[in-house]
């Protein structure tokens, strides 16, 4: 990292609270969770500077207007196995967080994919803000047409089983594994079909007995990046493709790599990144922005198309 990047990473971790409406703050790939009445966002990068590719931070808010930095979760130099592939440079992105039995688990992508395969790691903490301790080895390694990126862990409220969803981009292939109760090792891989229009960024949630697999489609730096979804009677399918729910409009381009959150009042939100009125054609340059909008369901359980907003974001609860 150069001096500018180091200073940007430091600002990400110690900056004063950020005040914002939509878009909320600079960042990408936001995994969001409700924790003790606050909305926490675990992104790639964050406010205060350029993409901090060597560490993760977290940010929380009670009003979706004032964001408090939650400090450093884990750094690249704290992952002992990261240099084992012999590649000179590595980047961290697309964190996913899960909680089980009082412990917090941070899943993350390590790349780039070439010349060696990308990998997925997992680290453990006693608190959502860390510090996280790496498990000591990669959880998943890519190869043979599969890119090991964009992990998402889901604990099924019905069975209690935990699943890891990952994959996408170049191979555009979804894979799913059942995790052991320790959440840092794999019990078995579950054979699943890759749903239509899948590119990356899988997210699983359950509502009213229906399982919703949502994901990003298209190029991350182009206007075709969008969110699609499928439904199923179980966390592992079979998938019924239901269509796109978040697509570019006149001023916001390439919305995607999202997560869904249920507020204490029972409202649903979608947290995602987008490009704000980018100049010129794709590929877009600059920094992506995290935004939050309301998610609504039809009476039959379908997710209604999301309308992206500016200025006044949804409020908690």
Does the pLDDT value for residue 3 go beyond 60? no
- What pLDDT digit, counting tens, does each position of 233-259 carry? 999 999 999 999 999 999 999 999 999
| pLDDT band (50, 70, 90) for residue 11 | very low
**What is the overall mean pLDDT for the chain?**
92
Question: φ and ψ at 5, to 5 degrees?
Answer: -70, -40
Quick one: which of 132, 131, 126, 151 has its CA closest to 141? 151
Residue 4: the pLDDT is 44
- Write out pLDDT tens, residues 191-215: 999 999 999 999 999 999 999 999 9
In CATH, what class is 3-295? Answer: mainly beta
**Residue 180: pLDDT above 90?**
yes
> Is pLDDT at 291 greater than 90 in this prediction?
yes
Q: What is the pLDDT of residues 139-155, one digit of tens each?
A: 999 999 899 999 999 99
Least confident residue range of 18-22, 60-64, 76-80, 137-141:
18-22
Q: What is the pLDDT of residue 48?
A: 60
CA distances 32 to 60, 106, 135, Å, are 9, 12, 22
**Residue 15, pLDDT score:** 53
Question: What's the DSSP call for residue 65?
Answer: S
What pLDDT sits at residue 233?
98
How far apart (Å, rounded) are the C-alpha atoms in residues 147 and 29? 17
Q: Is residue 7 within a helix (H) or strand (E), and if so which, with residue range?
A: helix 3-14
């Amino acid at each position: 990292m150069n001096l500018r990047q180091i200073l940007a990473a430091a600002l990400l971790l110690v900056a004063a609270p950020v005040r914002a409406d939509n878009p909320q703050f600079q960042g990408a790939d936001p995994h969001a969770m409700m924790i003790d009445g606050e909305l926490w966002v675990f992104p790639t990068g964050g406010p205060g500077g350029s993409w901090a590719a060597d560490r993760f931070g977290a940010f929380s808010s009670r009003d979706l207007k004032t964001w408090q930095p939650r400090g450093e979760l884990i750094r690249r130099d704290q992952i002992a196995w990261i240099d084992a592939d012999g590649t000179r440079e590595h980047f961290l992105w697309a964190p996913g967080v899960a909680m089980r039995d009082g412990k917090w688990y941070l899943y993350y992508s390590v790349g780039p994919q070439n010349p060696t395969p990308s990998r997925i790691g997992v680290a453990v903490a006693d608190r959502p803000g860390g510090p996280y301790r790496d498990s000591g080895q990669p959880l998943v390694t890519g190869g043979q047409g599969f890119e090991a990126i964009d992990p998402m862990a889901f604990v099924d409220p019905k069975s209690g089983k935990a699943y890891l969803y990952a994959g996408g981009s170049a191979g555009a292939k979804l894979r799913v594994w059942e995790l052991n109760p320790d959440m840092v090792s794999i019990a078995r891989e579950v054979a699943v079909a890759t749903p239509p229009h899948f590119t990356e960024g899988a997210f699983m949630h359950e509502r009213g007995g229906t399982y919703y697999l949502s994901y990003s489609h298209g190029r991350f730096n182009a206007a075709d990046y969008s969110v699609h979804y499928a439904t199923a009677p179980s966390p592992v399918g079979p998938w019924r493709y239901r269509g796109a729910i978040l697509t570019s409009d006149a001023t916001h381009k390439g919305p995607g790599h999202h997560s869904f959150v249920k507020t204490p009042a029972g409202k649903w939100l979608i947290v995602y990144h987008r490009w704000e009125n980018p100049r010129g054609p794709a590929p877009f340059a600059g920094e992506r922005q995290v935004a939050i909008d309301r998610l609504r369901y039809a009476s039959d359980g379908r997710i209604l198309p999301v309308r992206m907003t500016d200025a006044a974001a949804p409020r908690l609860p």
